[in-house]
Every structure is written in structure tokens, then in C-alpha cells.
Amino acid sequence: MTKRTRRALALLTALLLPASAAACSATGDRAPARLGSSAAGAPAGTAPAAPAARGFTLVASGDVLPHTSVIKRAAADAGGDGYDFRPMFSKVKPVVAAADLALCHMETIYGEDDGPFSGYPAFVSPPTVADALKDAGYDGCSTASNHTLDDGAEGLKRTLDRFDQVGLGHAGSARTAAEAARTTLYTAGSAKVAHLAYTYDTNGYPMPDGQPWAVNLMRQDKILADARAARKAGADVVLVSIHWGTEWQTEPDGTQLTLGKALTASQTGGRPDIDMILGTHAHIPQAYEKVNGTWIVYGMGDQVAGEMFNHSGARDMRGNYGSIARFTFAPPAVPGQRWQVTGAEFVPQMMDLSIGRVVNLPAALAEDPGDEEYESADEAVTEAVLSRGAAKDGLKRAR
């Protein structure tokens, strides 16, 4: 019996347990990042002490793209009662939950609680995906992608409504003009962290009538204007998620290179306008690179996806590979200066369709170093991530 078969049989046994048992998972031990928090008042008659500046860790991951087969797996994991995506993230939950701020990319939109749901080409996903993301330890997600308007303004609204319901932040799409104009801010460590998000296109779907602000499109002038507005809103760190690139191409394309260089070069008062760029969309892992002193993750690959077929029509395992980015930020020596990245890491991951789980590859290989499929995936992710020389700038593989 092969290791893959043993894992599949173990999963089948787990699925026969009561749904309540299958839904159980460990709880992270860190306090979640807070959305739009404000300082507490000091006791009357006393001057508040200046709090010590504290750094933070950021975790970010790639496309959550529930194909029909993934939805069916969640139905099986729910034991016949709805759709439970929580087990799907259980093997990467320790990495996500340990971060001070964890951000995902929700590529698709949500349907009504009871469906109908669909996969490619127009995705409508079960709303319980959001519940699973929150359970895994994510604090928020980028929601601007080429699929954001797959079900029009109604699908967009259902998605953000569910995010609000479960307590997830979101950036990149909006239900109202006022919401579109607001900066998504988190508190992580002692930093106020802004999250902005944009997409190259919406698959030809026009913006809903009277809602030109519904989805943020990838325009250099808008991105920079929003980043400067985030600074004025009090952001110490500005993170920009961009849905960009050429599908199935490991090397960043011309737009990624040109726009990335321009965005990281932009400064106001001698301080960079953007502190990090987090890329999605290509379906396969792409490189990390330090450009103008700023980290760019060109593409983190897919985190959740079904069987993926490339442009030639061939089954391509790279479509189930991805990386989790993990960066450590430290406060500046002088207030008002740039927060510094003092640690840069990536964790190779894989959507193992045989067990329906996103796998932390280094952790899995530490337990079973002889798994050839995992070894191959780990090597492919590592090669892609380091393909533009990020190791020389201190990027390390981690678990």
C-alpha cells in the first residue's frame, strides 16, 4: 500500500466520523489583528504612557479558487450537512494562526447559503469558505480579481456581507462609494497596516450600473494615490495586493516588472509610498524579489484549487502548488521613518487532491521524507520562488 493510498484511506475514515468531530481544529495562540482599532483612554488625571513600539509578522497566501471538485470535497467533509472547508486548511493553520497579521486572496464570490454553486468559468462558491478562512487564522483577504464580478453586484455584496459576518477584513471591492473610499487598516504589533488590492481586469464584465468603484482596477496612478491616502490615514506600513501576471508563466511578465519597479520607486518625503507588493493570478508559483529596497512577491500560486489544466490542455501539477509568504517587520529607530523587513521567508505548499488538504510541504517532508510527490512539489516551488536571486537578499525557505 503506497503512502498516498494510506493518506486517502485515513481521510475516508475521518469522513465517517460525526461532522462535529471533523470540524474540530486547534486554535492559534496569538491575538488576531484588529480592524480600525483606536487607543484606549487613560485614567482621569494621568498622562498616558507612550507604548513601546512592537514589530509584527505578516503571512500572505495565494488564490483560493474553489472548483466544483473542491466544493464536493467540502460537502463530504461536512458529512452531508452543508459545506465545511475548515479541514481543507488544517495543515497550514499553524503557520497562518501564528502570524500577527494573516492575509489571503479570495478569488471567487459567494452564492446564497443553499446555492446553487459553480466552478469554472463563472465561479459561485459556498459562503462557508469565509468561515474556514477565519477559522484558519486569517484576518482579512484581498477580493479584487478577474472573477469578482462573476455574479454581478449581488455576488460581490454577498461575499463582503459574509466577510463582515465572520469578522474578516477585505480590500479591493466595495458595496458603496463610501466603502470604496475607505482604507482597510489593521493593527499588528504596534503598527497600523493598510491593505490595498487591485486586479488587471474583470474578465470583460462591466462595472455594475452606477458603481464604477465596485472593483479596484490596476492603474498605477490610482494605486499610488491610494497608498498616499493610506499614509495620511495613519498607516505605518502599506501592503498592496495585485491580481496580475500571465497565467502558467513562472517568469514575471513585462507589466509585472514595469509596474512593480514604478510602484516601489515612488516616494513621498523620502519615504517609499508602498512597503510590499503581494501578487496573485498566475496559478503557479512565481519569484520573490527585492526591487528598489522593497519586496515584491510576483505570484504566490494557488492555495486552493481543483485539477488544473494549462493552456495546452494538459494536466499541470503546478496549478496546485503555491507559497506562503512570511515577513517580519520591525519598527523604525526614528518615528515616522520606514518600518524595516528584518526577516523574509517562504513556506512551500501544495493542494493535495488525494486527501483534499492544503499541505505545508516542509512540515510534511519532515514527517515523511520519502514522499516523492511532496519532494517534487517542494523543489518546484522553491526553484520558482528563488528564480530571481532572492536568496542573496535573505529570503529563506521555512516551515
Q: What is the pLDDT of residues 291-321, one digit of tens each?
A: 999 999 999 999 999 999 999 999 999 999 9
pLDDT higher at 309 or 35: 309
Q: What is the pLDDT of residues 150-163, one digit of tens each?
A: 999 999 999 999 99
> Strand (E) positions, the chain?
34-35, 56-64, 101-106, 109-110, 124-125, 140-142, 169-171, 184-188, 191-199, 237-243, 267-268, 271-272, 276-280, 288-291, 294-297, 302-304, 321-330, 340-352, 357-360, 395-397
d(C-alpha 259, C-alpha 78), whole Å: 43
39: confidence class by pLDDT, cuts 50, 70, 90: very low
Q: What is the mean pLDDT of residues 237-250?
A: 98
Q: Residue holding cell 466552478?
A: 119
31: confidence class by pLDDT, cuts 50, 70, 90: low
User: Whole-model pTM?
Assistant: 0.90
Cell numbers standing for residue 124: 459561485
The answer, yes or no, to whether residue 370 has pLDDT greater than 50, is yes
pLDDT higher at 198 or 37: 198
Task: Specify the pLDDT at position 7.
Answer: 53
* Secondary element (H or E) of residue 223: helix 220-232
Q: What is the mean pLDDT of residues 221-249?
A: 98
Task: Specify the pLDDT at position 326.
Answer: 98
Helix axes 128-136, 152-166, angle to 10 degrees: 40
Listing DSSP states for 264-277 in one string gives HH-EETTEES-SEE
d(C-alpha 162, C-alpha 71), whole Å: 17
392: confidence class by pLDDT, cuts 50, 70, 90: very high
Q: What domains does the chain contain, in order, with CATH numbers? A: 52-397 (3.60.21.10)
Name the residue type at position 90: S
